[in-house]
Amino acid sequence: MTTTTTTTTAMPTQDDHLPHLLSLKVMRLSRPQFVSTLPVYYESAESTSLVEGLENNNILDLNTCQPIQPSELHIRDFGLSQMLKLPSAFGNIYLGETFSTLISINNESPIPIHQMTAKIELQTSSQRFLLAEASPLDLTPSSTRDITVSHEIKELGVHILVCSVHYIVKTKLNNMIDGRVFLEAQLQNVSASPMYLERMKFEPSEHFQFESLNQIIDESNDKTVFGNHFIHPQDVRQYLYMLSPRHSATDRISRTTNALGKLDIVWRTALGDMGRLQTSQLTRKAPLLEDIEIQPFWPQEGDVKVVLETPFRLGIRVINHSNENMKLVLSAVKTKMGSVLLSGLGSRQLGEVGPNQFTETELEFFPLTPGLQRVGGLRVMDLLSGYTKDVDHVCDVFVLSHKNDTSDSYNCPQRVPLTEDKVQPVVRRLSQQSERRQSEERRKSIASLEKAAVAEQFAFIQQGKLPTNRQIHSIISRFLNSDVIKEQPISEDGQHVLRDMHDLLDVLQRALDSKNPDELFQSMIFHAKRATELQDMEPSGVKLLTTLKVIRHCLFDSRFRSLLSTVLLVAQGILSKNAARHSNGKGKGVADRTLPEDIVEDLRGLDPNLLRNNSVNEGDLISHLKNIFDIVKENPEYKSSLEALLTLVVIWTIRLSSQPIKQLSIQNNAGKAFDYTNPNLNIPDWELAALEAKRILERWSRDIRLDPFIKDLNNLACIVKADEELYDLYIKARILIHETLDDGFNKSSWLSFIQEIQDSGVVNSYQKMMTSLIHEAQSNIQAFKEDPLSKEISQKLQSIYQRLWYTKWNGIATLKPHLLDDFKMTLLPALIEQIKYVPLPPFTIRESKENTMVISNMVLTGDTLMPQTIELKLDDNLRFHPKSRIGSISVQSLLLNLYDIETIMEDVKFQYKRKVGFFDITDLGVATVHVR
């Protein structure tokens, strides 16, 4: 026979491994039996009557006439003791016997049990018998209910005894929206005498931390709401505990677990006897988590008072509990709002929120009615999945009729005579207030002038007018003398990098004085930007930034310069082989122009033996070309620079062939800035930029004049344009170069093109001119490299590059990760320190076709732009730019995230336009904006 027990409760269903509050015991009732023993016999001097009778010879004689004499007999003599015993096992029960059992139900918990009912049934293979059913009753802690039943066994087979107990426990749980749980526990003294409660302790589970709400908020926090620790008979105490997630409000485990904790109770009776009880794990019915959860919070610290008809700000935290990314939009539903209305925009983008992540925003509300009011009427929508959640109730606020603050009230004192000691403090206080007000006005006035100057400077930069040499000197000096860089402890690599950067800035300052005394570089940027803007719609236009990249590579990148030298050498080799073929093999090949040793060293990746050969055959030229394009493929910036150079050659060819460059005399007096905005020059911007770029290049090539090279280039352009066959070869060369840069090197295409050049006799006619032009270009490139300042800048850049990167065995360069932390503590704060004001462009908020808001005059203060958290990430370029066409895995991108930037913008102008019928309603305003 087996026994099963089932329990139902008003509390959530308990787990299988958690014990119930009631214990149920089943015991079979059987009659006791005598305990059997094995007696030990012995002989004594006086034989007993039984022994004598047994020893009598006549005992074997059935017809004996000698009877046994009567004597006193004991039960021990028959192997039985005088003790009774109960069965140690359930035993067997046979058909026709009566089965009797005792069911004992005991309340082992400290919680009273209410409406406890019991139902005892006996189930056979054919039917089920109801043996007993107890009426509802209450069980106090440690109390017991016993039930005795009997049943006559009338069937063969297995019988199952089923005991069902139903009971109700007085516990109460309140789950809050932010993950907090309020637990109420009821404690009652059901004994007949008073008891002293020594300890009432709550032990939370591992996912919660708790706060006892059973203390009186007074000067002494150890005073409880219950007074003394004595509990009289039948007295009841209600304890309250607030449980909150231990890790964060977004912790999914703490929000969904059902185990809360245990109660540990210790008490003593009147005579000092101690009792202790520890409850089983208290559980709850875990609330279901929706995909989107809304939590309110106060953005400001301290006490918050909500006053009637006064706007107040409320923070809204939106949590994504799903497993997918969400792109959230928060909007207002005015029809579902009560007497607290949303003030401002009715909809705002919250951005993309990852799984189990949250985002925060602040909303401004306007209360219309005093008293306890509901805040709600919000809607959150996911643009990716279309999921929408309406939040009718966010929180409740108590709206005051007026600001009841005693610090702001004024109580009129009684009239008393004024004395000197009472007048002086008042005069001193008024004087201090006046000084503070005047100082604030002066500060605002100075700040307004500085903001205007910064806004004007930013406007100049947008027009292409860079800062003057003096301003650049000032910026570099402030950066070099920054205390942030000097005081922060950083790694040894970081110290070397900062030292190299310091030396590089010193060289740049010297370069400004020697290479740019008349600010010719600023003039070139101005004219090049204007020319670029005019060419935005032309497919052959070159952007300003691309042009600057080409100049940077030509002046300061020794590897790029060496690459150009090799390209010119290959071109010369092709022309030389063509000349040798048409002169019956008497040409000299490439022997009359080979690469210098330093260029060979710079071009790592090319075969040095190929570069040093005095004669180059067709296979060597193809190897040269393939290695050149492999290097370009490994360096995407080289590819864009070469494409820009080809485009510049096209533009120069068209301009040189159609109209010669005008000779312009530019004043280059040292220390005197060139007036590059003078409208009386009456020269196109591109020609001005070209002349200025030529002069800059001449200064960086040890003052070697570029006029002969430009003249030869102009002549060659005119010849190419006039000769149809030569022009076709030029177009084919351009197309083949672009195809190779885009699709990779095609050996057969280049062999075919070289063969076409060798078969053409027109190239041989101009071979001497082209060779001379190549020699001039190589001389100019070499002059750039031999310039002292250019060489020094290249060395510093190369040193910084080597200290920044790890070079692994497969040739992939990786930035040293510890340098990111060094730069976060030094370079980034020093750069932000140089920014005094940052003007923002006006922007328009168009809520609908009729409603438009324009916000302008926004200027960020530089000293408030320092973030609380700086995050620097370095990863594969394709991680951040998945559509990039860059094929090299060595290209990496740096992601910079600045968090918790808090600043204030004063005198921000708001212009609101609303169209009503045929009229436009316009409202203007000035406000101070707090940005976080």
**Which residues lie closer than 8 Å to 223 by C-beta, 6 or more apart?**
215, 216
Digit-coded pLDDT (tens) for 59-94 = 444 444 555 555 555 555 555 566 777 777 777 787
**Which residues lie closer than 8 Å to 699 by C-beta, 6 or more apart?**
515
Q: H helices within 700-723, ranges in order?
A: 707-722
The strand pair at 259-268 and 236-245 is best described as: unpaired
Model confidence at 737, pLDDT cuts 50, 70, 90, reads confident
In this predicted structure, the answer to whether residue 408 has a pLDDT above a threshold of 50 is no
Digit-coded pLDDT (tens) for 840-872 = 777 787 777 777 888 887 777 766 666 666 666
Rounded distance between C-alpha atoms, residue 611 and residue 5, angstroms: 94
Buried b (16+ CB within 10 A) or exposed e, 92-105: eeeeeeebebebeb
In this predicted structure, the answer to whether residue 219 has a pLDDT above a threshold of 70 is no
**pLDDT at residue 487, as a whole number:** 64
Task: Give the helix/strand (H/E) hosting 319.
Answer: strand 312-320
Q: What does residue 86 show for φ and ψ, rounded to 5 degrees?
A: -95, 155
Q: Which residues pair with 121 in a beta bridge?
A: 130, 162
Contact between residue 525 and residue 464 where contact means Cβ atoms under 8 Å apart: yes
743 vs 675, which has greater pLDDT?
743
**pLDDT at residue 348, as a whole number:** 85
Amino acid at 472: I
State the greatest distance between any 2 C-alpha atoms of the chain, in Å, as a whole number.
Answer: 173
Place of tokens 């990746």: 605
Q: How many CA atoms lie within 13 A of 4 on its CB side?
A: 7
CA angle in degrees (0–180, nearest 5) for 42-47-49? 115
Rounded distance between C-alpha atoms, residue 210 and residue 419, angstroms: 58
Q: Where are the domains of the chain?
A: 3-30+89-169, 34-85, 172-283, 292-400, 516-786, 836-931
**DSSP string of 247-289, one letter each residue:** S-TT-HHHHH--EEEEEEEEEE-TT--EEEEE---EE--PPPP
Contact between residue 739 and residue 723 where contact means Cβ atoms under 8 Å apart: no
Q: Using N-to-C axis directions, what is the helix angle for 492-515 and 469-480, rounded to 10°?
A: 160
Rounded distance between C-alpha atoms, residue 717 and residue 728, angstroms: 13
CA angle in degrees (0–180, nearest 5) for 655-656-657? 95
Classified as helix, coil or strand, 732 is helix
Digit-coded pLDDT (tens) for 891-907 = 566 666 766 677 777 77
Question: Would you give the DSSP letter of residue 703?
Answer: T
Q: Which residues pair with 25 in a beta bridge?
A: 104
Rounded to two decimals, the pTM is: 0.42
Residue 508 burial by CB count (10 A; 0-12/13-18/19+): exposed, middle or buried? middle
Percent of the chain whose predicted confidence (pLDDT) is above 70: 63
Task: Give the helix/strand (H/E) hosting 772.
Answer: helix 767-786
Domain 292-400 has CATH 2.60.40.10: yes
Model confidence at 650, pLDDT cuts 50, 70, 90, reads low
Classified as helix, coil or strand, 604 is strand
Average pLDDT, the chain: 71
Rounded distance between C-alpha atoms, residue 645 and residue 638, angstroms: 10
Digit-coded pLDDT (tens) for 101-125 = 888 988 888 788 888 888 889 888 8
**Which residues lie closer than 8 Å to 668 by C-beta, 6 or more apart?**
517, 518, 520, 674, 695
Instruction: Give a three-class secondary structure readout of 397-441.
Output: EEEECCCCCCCCCCCCCCCCCCCHHHHHHHHHHHHHHHHHHHHHH
In this predicted structure, the answer to whether residue 36 has a pLDDT above a threshold of 60 is yes
Q: What's the CATH fold of domain 172-283?
A: Immunoglobulin-like (2.60.40)
Query: How many beta carbons lie within 10 A of that of residue 184, not counting itself?
Result: 14
**pLDDT at residue 250, as a whole number:** 57
Classified as helix, coil or strand, 616 is coil
Rounded distance between C-alpha atoms, residue 496 and residue 206, angstroms: 49
Digit-coded pLDDT (tens) for 272-319 = 778 888 888 888 877 777 788 888 888 887 778 888 888 898 988 888
Nearest by Cα to 374 from 346, 400, 394, 401 = 394
**pLDDT at residue 604, as a whole number:** 42
Candidate from 9-23, 292-306, 374-388 with smallest mean pLDDT: 9-23
Rounded distance between C-alpha atoms, residue 477 and residue 803, angstroms: 24
Instruction: Please write down the long-range contacts of 477-484, taking CB distance under 8 Å and 24 or more positions apart.
Output: 478/833, 478/834, 479/505, 479/830, 479/831, 479/834, 480/505, 480/506, 482/830, 482/833, 484/825, 484/826, 484/829, 484/830, 484/833
Rounded distance between C-alpha atoms, residue 898 and residue 869, angstroms: 6
In this predicted structure, the answer to whether residue 7 has a pLDDT above a threshold of 80 is no
Rg (CA), the chain: 49
Q: What does residue 343 show for φ and ψ, rounded to 5 degrees?
A: -110, 130
586 vs 550, which has greater pLDDT?
550
Q: Please check whether the two domains, 3-30+89-169 and 172-283, share a CATH topology.
A: yes
Rounded distance between C-alpha atoms, residue 831 and residue 865, angstroms: 11
Q: What's the CATH fold of domain 3-30+89-169?
A: Immunoglobulin-like (2.60.40)
Tokens encoding 451: 């903001």
In this predicted structure, the answer to whether residue 51 has a pLDDT above a threshold of 80 is no
418 vs 173, which has greater pLDDT?
173
Classified as helix, coil or strand, 445 is helix
